[in-house]
Amino acid sequence: MEGFVEGGLGAAALKRRMWGGYGLVLVALIDVLLAVRYRAAEEATTRSFILLVYGVGAYSLRQTTVRRPRRRLRIAEKLSGRS
């Protein structure tokens, strides 16, 4: 079941959907917290690395998708005659 959830979120992240990236980070964070709760140190370390990778991916996804509103704003300014 978890594979389907992570697969769906990964597919959404590949389509540059922010909610997909954030969802992967949330799932990885829950995995880390559960590993710490059950005192599985090696698994917690592995899950923490996965959390780091997903976090960096979500951050870079955000950096690539934030620029779109600025472009729309410039187009709106050009159409309104303010340029």
What is the reported pTM? 0.74
Q: Of 49, 50, 61, 48, whose CA–CA distance to 20 is shortest?
A: 61
> Which whole number is the average pLDDT over 19-41?
93
Q: Of 45, 53, 46, whose CA–CA distance to 24 is shortest?
A: 53
Residue indicated by tokens 């370390």: 45
Contact at 8 Å (CB) between 24 and 54? yes
For 39, the token pair is: 């005192």
List the chain domain ranges.
2-80
pLDDT single digits (tens) 40-52: 899 999 999 999 9
Give, as one character, the DSSP assignment of residue 66.
Answer: T
